Amino acid sequence: MSRSAVLLVPFATVALSLAALSACGTSTAPSPSASPESGVRGTAKSAGGPATSDGTTNVWPSSDVTVVAHEGEIGGPVVARVTANHAGEFSIDLPPGAYTLVQAAPAGARPKSVTVRPGEYAHVTLWQAVP
Please report the domains of the chain, with CATH numbers, ordered by start residue: 39-130 (2.60.40.1120)
pLDDT, position 83:
95
Other CB atoms within 10 A of residue 45 CB:
17
CB atoms within 10 A of CB 102: 19
pLDDT value at residue 36: 62
- pLDDT greater than 80 at residue 25: no
**Which of 36, 37, 35, 41 lies closest to 92 in space, CA to CA?**
41
pLDDT(75) > 50: yes
Give the pLDDT band of residue 95 (cuts 50, 70, 90): very high
The span from the CA of 46 to the CA of 13, in Å, is 78
Q: What is the pLDDT of residue 34?
A: 33
Lowest mean pLDDT among 24-28, 61-65, 90-94: 24-28
Q: What is the mean pLDDT of residues 71-89?
A: 96
Tell me the C-alpha distance between 116 and 96, whole Å.
Answer: 5
Question: 124: part of which helix (H) or strand (E)?
Answer: strand 121-130
Which H helix or E strand runs over 7?
helix 3-24
